[in-house]
Amino acid sequence: MGTLTVNQNKLQKRLRRLAGEAVADFNMIEDGDKVMVCLSGGKDSYTMLDVLMHLQKVAPIKFEIVAVNMDQKQPGFPEHVLPAYLKELGVEYHIVEKDTYSVVKELVPEGKTTCSLCSRLRRGTLYTFADEIGATKMALGHHRDDIVETFFLNMFFNGTLKAMPPKLRADDGRNVVIRPLAYCNEKDIQAYSDFKAFPIIPCNLCGSQENLQRQVVKEMLQDWERKTPGRTESIFRSLQNVVPSQLADRNLFDFTSLKIDETAASRFVNVVNL
């Protein structure tokens, strides 16, 4: 890659700055951490690796990076692409082979979306491998738009107000998931991937499915963004400014015991009788 243009340089600095802010805000990476960077072969995970390698050079702490890709045995998967790319970078890496493709095809009826089951099987395998290699953090490439989309998916279809947190401890307590791109938007990541010419590997299992609810939500948000620029950022900020007393979750706020404060000063101190 030659000298960057002014716009490319600004884009690179913006992604690095936002990722650095997210890492600092949520204490994602600590001194001595071994960070397992999960690579799918898509634009998001390539960008995440690129940014983390930069942070590793400039951060005041020391941490290891280990790149891991899961070969799910999808037909036509180009097995040579990631190893060649990672060898050129000089990054320690592992390729985990697990035939989840056959499991998904066997269990999911033709025409139904496969992402949910595929994701669960992949995540479980990666959790186990992270434990095996002694990784203290597991980095995933989800960005701001993914987080906002997940928020609406959970609200529309699961009846819950939750999204993807920038940092998460797994249910078993043995894995901590981090999302360094949590503050970065997909448009910037796509532009960065394009000019860096990452060797993108498409998902042949589910990438072409048109009936994904996530795609419907993505298009809804994109339409909102076109009509009101900045709306997605505003929605994301709302996830960082939760006011439990203004919602209706009785587990988060004690509505039952709520009553007037007898010691509070009267709102009307000078009352005129008419």
Does pLDDT of 17 surpass 70? Answer: yes
Greatest distance between any 2 Cα atoms in the chain: 88
pTM: 0.87
The residue written with tokens 């990784």 in the block is 135
Q: Is 115 annotated as a binding residue?
A: yes
Helices vs strands, H then E, count in the chain? 9, 6
Q: Are 11 and 192 in contact (CB under 8 A)?
A: yes
Summarised one tens digit per residue, pLDDT across range 205-245 is: 454 454 578 889 999 999 999 999 999 999 999 999 999 99
- What count of other Cβ atoms lies within 10 Å of the Cβ of residue 160? 11
User: How confident is the model over 118-145, as pLDDT tens digits?
Assistant: 677 777 788 889 999 999 999 999 999 9
**Residue 184 assigned to a binding site:** no
Q: How confident is the model at residue 107 (pLDDT cuts 50, 70, 90)?
A: low
The DSSP element (H or E) to which 133 belongs, if any, is helix 115-133
38 annotated as ligand-binding: no
